[in-house]
């Protein structure tokens, strides 16, 4: 089997004005769909974040992708490394939500090759990752402080006809009450059994109040997490963490760097999770030496693919780290890949993060994947178990073309609302 064609389609999916430490989400989330076509007519697909760095890097890889055997991942990975370099790409273009184009190229190719293998052998990607341990993979609700607005074409506008979660999704949530209302709506719609709040937006006291309000509203049976995206100083993290002892399942990236995280971890009994201080295999020795976190949030888009995410899970077993999963905005192809990974990972300790409820569009046949009782059922069918809807893909690509965005820049979006806004570390 040989890869004879690679199609790269940048798309934009409508996204509400969600707030985070880095600023504000634009009205569209950028993604890229990568398809590999083989000489025997099979087609494998993957989805990764959209960025101009990724667009350049995947084109640079094209020369070694065409002609490669999708059944020989080691060989293809080696060719990409030799052809495109590794470290330089990672260091040059990494941002807090983009760990470098090189690992994303590997991720896109790895997922599409696994999809091809699954189709060739008539088995699921989860089977190729070692076997299905759970048919239903648990996800966590993902709350955001947000401005009023639907996103997409409506931007900061709202659709008055919306009801249920669609209405709640466009509502503002700028204080603890707003967050609790958002949580009630998203839990009612999807049945989530655990809840995460994207923090690092307002002063820590308000975010602590929001977590306590969530605990009050949902009781101790619903695990809670908050992620201030490393916006807190070490001292603030310890003070806030102490306020939240007993309230949180885990505290995600309160502060930056492995040393800072390790200092916070020594001061708290609440477990610390990260997708910011330990984000690559190169970071694992430092993590082990310093003891920077209890839980590593894998993300196959940023660790180089699904096989690499399974390798990370093996490291976590060896070194006593739990595993959970990070998410950016994404569509159904990514959700399918995340679900295969979650189905196959022996040491999946926690419900996974997903932004999926914030989107309403998708590019797969049958429309959006369903989240029920907080779980996504492992897609059946060979490979990832999803098929591209060509008309929907064309519409999403047209959205990409029209929206004019090439790269995610949450600070730029934020400055449209608050001129001069810039990221600042928070002390409390």
Q: Which of 2, 62, 78, 245 binds a second copy (CB under 8 A)?
A: 78
Decide if residue 76 touches a second copy (CB under 8 A): yes
Decide if residue 381 touches a second copy (CB under 8 A): no
How far apart are CB 320 and a second copy at their closest, in Å? 8
Q: Which stretch binds a second copy (CB under 8 A): 64-72, 208-216, 403-411, 420-428?
A: 64-72
| Matching residue, tokens 């760990």 | 99
Q: Which of 8, 37, 127, 263 binds a second copy (CB under 8 A)?
A: 127
Decide if residue 87 touches a second copy (CB under 8 A): no
If residue 365 lies in a helix (H) or strand (E), which one and from where to where?
A: none
- Euclidean distance between the first and the last CA atom of the chain, given in angstroms as a whole number: 59
Q: Which of 153, 319, 370, 390 binds a second copy (CB under 8 A)?
A: 319
Decide if residue 82 touches a second copy (CB under 8 A): no
CB atoms within 10 A of CB 138: 18
Q: Site for a second copy (CB under 8 A): how many residues?
A: 32
Q: Which of 69, 175, 189, 387 binds a second copy (CB under 8 A)?
A: 69
Decide if residue 317 touches a second copy (CB under 8 A): yes
Instruction: Give the closest residue to 116 by CA, choosing from 15, 41, 203.
Output: 41
DSSP 40: T
- Which entry of 79, 196, 300, 326 is annotated as an active-site residue? 326
Q: Which is nearer to a second copy, 130 or 366 (CB)?
A: 130
Q: Which of 284, 295, 337, 376 binds a second copy (CB under 8 A)?
A: 284
Q: Which of 67, 130, 164, 367 binds a second copy (CB under 8 A)?
A: 130
Q: Which stretch binds a second copy (CB under 8 A): 15-23, 66-74, 151-159, 263-271?
A: 66-74
Cβ-count burial 271-285 (b if 16+ within 10 Å, e if not): bbbbbbbbbbeeebe
Q: Which of 8, 55, 66, 133 binds a second copy (CB under 8 A)?
A: 133
If residue 29 lies in a helix (H) or strand (E), which one and from where to where?
A: strand 28-38
Decide if residue 67 touches a second copy (CB under 8 A): no
Instruction: Give the closest residue to 27 by CA, choosing from 12, 11, 15.
Output: 15
Q: Which is nearer to a second copy, 159 or 311 (CB)?
A: 311
Decide if residue 136 touches a second copy (CB under 8 A): no
Query: Is 323 in a helix, a strand, or coil?
Result: strand
DSSP 347: T
How far apart are CB 289 and a second copy at their closest, in Å? 8
Decide if residue 167 touches a second copy (CB under 8 A): no
Instruction: Give the closest residue to 235 by CA, choosing from 428, 42, 30.
Output: 428
Active site residue 87: no
Separation between Cα atoms, residue 324 and residue 248, nearest integer Å: 15
Active site residue 196: no
Q: Which of 7, 88, 318, 425 binds a second copy (CB under 8 A)?
A: 318
Read out DSSP for 98-131? Answer: B--HHHHHHHHHHHHHHHHHHHHHT-BHHHHTT-
Draw the binding track, 342-361, toward a second copy (x: CB under 8 A; -: no contact). Answer: --x-x---------------
Q: Which is nearer to a second copy, 91 or 314 (CB)?
A: 314
CB atoms within 10 A of CB 79: 18
Decide if residue 4 touches a second copy (CB under 8 A): no
Decide if residue 123 touches a second copy (CB under 8 A): yes
Residue 138 contacts by C-beta under 8 Å, 6 or more apart in sequence?
193, 194, 342, 351, 352, 374, 375
Separation between Cα atoms, residue 69 and residue 1, nearest integer Å: 6
Decide if residue 311 touches a second copy (CB under 8 A): yes
Residue 152 contacts by C-beta under 8 Å, 6 or more apart in sequence?
13, 14, 15, 27, 28, 360, 361, 399
Decide if residue 121 touches a second copy (CB under 8 A): yes
Q: Which of 67, 131, 367, 381 binds a second copy (CB under 8 A)?
A: 131
Query: Is 37 in a helix, a strand, or coil?
Result: strand
Separation between Cα atoms, residue 371 and residue 375, nearest integer Å: 5
How far apart are CB 73 and a second copy at their closest, in Å? 5
Residues that bind a second copy (CB under 8 A): 69, 71-78, 120-121, 123, 127, 130-133, 281-282, 284-285, 288, 307, 311, 314-315, 317-320, 344, 346
Active site residues: 198, 326
């Amino acid at each position: 089997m040989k890869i004879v064609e690679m199609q790269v389609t940048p798309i934009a999916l409508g996204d509400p004005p969600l707030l985070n430490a880095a600023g504000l989400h634009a009205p569209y989330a950028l993604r890229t769909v990568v398809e590999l076509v083989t000489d025997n007519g099979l087609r494998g697909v993957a989805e990764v974040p959209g960025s101009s760095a990724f667009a350049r890097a995947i084109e640079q890889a094209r020369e070694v992708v065409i002609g490669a055997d999708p059944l020989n991942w080691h060989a293809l990975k080696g060719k990409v490394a030799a052809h495109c370099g590794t470290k330089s790409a990672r260091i040059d273009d990494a941002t807090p939500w983009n760990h470098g184009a090189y690992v994303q190229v590997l991720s896109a190719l790895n997922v599409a090759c696994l999809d091809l293998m699954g189709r060739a052998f008539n088995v699921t990607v989860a089977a190729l990752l070692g076997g299905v341990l759970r048919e239903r993979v648990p996800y966590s609700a993902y709350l955001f402080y947000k401005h009023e607005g639907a996103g997409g074409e409506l931007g900061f506008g709202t659709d008055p006809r919306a009801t249920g979660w669609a209405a709640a999704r466009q509502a503002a949530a700028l204080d603890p009450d707003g967050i609790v209302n958002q949580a009630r709506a998203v839990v009612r719609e999807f049945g989530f059994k655990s809840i995460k709040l994207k923090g690092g937006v307002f002063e820590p006291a308000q975010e602590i109040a929001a977590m306590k309000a969530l605990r009050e509203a949902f009781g101790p049976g619903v695990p809670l997490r908050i992620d201030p995206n490393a916006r807190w100083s070490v001292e603030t993290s310890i003070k806030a963490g102490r306020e939240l002892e007993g309230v949180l399942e885990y505290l995600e990236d309160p502060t930056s760097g492995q040393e800072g995280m390790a200092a916070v971890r020594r001061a708290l009994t609440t477990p610390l999770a990260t997708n910011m201080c330990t984000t690559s295999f190169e970071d694992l020795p430092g993590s082990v030496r310093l003891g920077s976190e209890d839980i590593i949030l894998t993300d196959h888009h940023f660790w180089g693919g699904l096989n690499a995410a399974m390798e990370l899970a093996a490291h976590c077993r060896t070194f006593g780290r739990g595993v959970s999963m990070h998410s950016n905005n994404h569509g159904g192809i990514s959700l399918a890949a995340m679900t295969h990974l979650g189905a196959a990972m022996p040491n999946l300790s926690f419900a996974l993060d997903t932004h999926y409820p914030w989107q309403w569009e998708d590019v797969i046949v049958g429309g959006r994947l369903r989240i029920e009782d907080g779980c996504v059922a492992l897609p059946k069918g060979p490979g990832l178990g999803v098929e591209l809807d060509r008309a929907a893909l064309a519409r999403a690509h047209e959205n990409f073309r029209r929206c004019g965005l090439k790269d995610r820049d949450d600070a730029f979006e934020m400055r449209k609302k608050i001129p001069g806004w810039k990221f600042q570390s928070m002390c409390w």
